Every structure is written in C-alpha cells, then in structure tokens.
Chains A and B, each alone.
Chain A
C-alpha cells in the first residue's frame, strides 16, 4: 500500500524567509509525486510534480521541490515566503505513470506566513 506523511500540521514562517514543507512517501513502484495548494473553501490547485528526470522540480508561484529517493522525501520549498502563500498544502503520491492509479494524499500542512 502506498502512503504519504506530512509530519507538520502547521508551519509558521516570516515573510521574506525561506520555507520548507516536509513530505515523505512510501510506494512499491516508481513514485509519481505531486504538491497541491488549497485555499479556504476552494479545490486543489496544482503546484508541481515529479515524474522523472531532475530531482529538483520547479513549479508555480516560485515553489520548488526536491525528490530524494534514498530518503523517500519530496519536500516543498520556496526561497522567500509571501503572506499570500498562506494556505493548506498537500503532498500526494501515486505508483507509476497511469493517472488512473490511486492518488494518495498526505494529511496536509497549513502554512502561515506572517508579515
């Protein structure tokens, strides 16, 4: 069975400082990894994904994530946080390229960026 862990329920960071939202995963085959952001009462917005290739993936709004196979991690990062980045972030994993395969979500991490 595949699983995703986001160990922090909430991350607090000051505006302008770098941020990291942690994610570790477990999957039996090749992992396809995703980060989504959710604003209040809204659906999920895609940020970035890792399929194959470079371990450092760049996505929307200045976010990036680094795939680390040995640590089975896919942490989300941003060099300089904005107050508008405050939202709920979900990491997700599925096994292999078939988009019809189950997508398993982590529990979510609330990011609070303070002015």
Chain B
C-alpha cells in the first residue's frame, strides 16, 4: 500500500514551453502532497506544499507563477513548469501523506520526474 506514482518519468522539452508533471496516490487519499526538486548530486529541496482544494504553500525563493501547483482531487496533484528554461532542468519528486496531516506518520515518495529543457 501507500504507492505514489509520477508521470511522466522523463520529459525533454524546448525552452519556452510549459511542462506538466502529475503526482498520484494510487491506493490512498492524500490531503497533502509535497513537491521537491533535486539537482544532480544534491539533496532534495522542498518547493511547495500542495493541499487539496486550496492554494499551495511555496517555500521561500520558489516562484509560484513559474511553478504552478494544482491539487484538484485527493489523489492527484500537478506541477506545471511554465516557460521552462535550461536552468529548470532537474529531478522533481513528489510525496504524499497518508490520511490527514494531523494523523499521518510519514511521507511516501514518488519515483521522480526528470525534466530536461533544451
């Protein structure tokens, strides 16, 4: 149980285009999902917290107009990288909490999406 999937696993796009990444909780409902970014050989940095039915909470330094997050259902959160540029190339990982944030114990991570912007 507690499986999180991401789609696509790898995407290559031209500079200036927008890319949407999906994060799904497959066998549970997730009120809260998180989006992380990982540069090569570096750790995960939290970008934003996505709450179902409300606006995402972005970490300091993360452009909310650049990285659009939508959490329209209890099993799906999407991250859209708008007008992508080469510096946006990175590994994006999502995670989800089983149940509500007050009762859950840990985050379950997706397999990640590698974005390459040419």
Binding site for B on A (CB under 8 A): 34, 36, 41-46, 49, 51, 90, 97-100, 102-103, 105-108
Contact = CB atoms under 8 A, between A and B. Distances in A.
The residue in B34, B102, B106 that gathers the most chain A C-beta atoms within 10 A of its C-beta is B106
B43 A106 contact: yes
A100 B32 contact: yes
B111 A108 contact: no
- DSSP class of B's interface residues: helix, strand, loop or mixed? strand
15 contacts: A36-B109, A41-B91, A41-B112, A43-B111, A44-B44, A44-B93, A45-B109, A46-B108, A51-B105, A90-B44, A100-B102, A103-B107, A105-B43, A106-B43, A107-B43
A103 B34 CA distance: 10
Interface in B98-118: 98, 101-102, 104-112, 114
B106 A99 contact: yes
The residue in A43, A90, A103 that gathers the most chain B C-beta atoms within 10 A of its C-beta is A43
Contacts of A107: 42-43
Given A97-B105, A99-B32, 14 more contacts: A41-B91, A41-B114, A43-B4, A46-B108, A46-B109, A90-B44, A99-B104, A99-B105, A99-B107, A100-B104, A102-B46, A103-B46, A105-B43, A108-B41
Contact of B43 (A45, A51, A100, A108): A108
Interface in B43-59: 43-46, 49
B43 A90 contact: yes
A37 B45 CA distance: 16
A56 B114 CA distance: 36
B45 to A, nearest CB: 8
B78 interface: no
Contacts of B97: 99-100
B77 interface: no
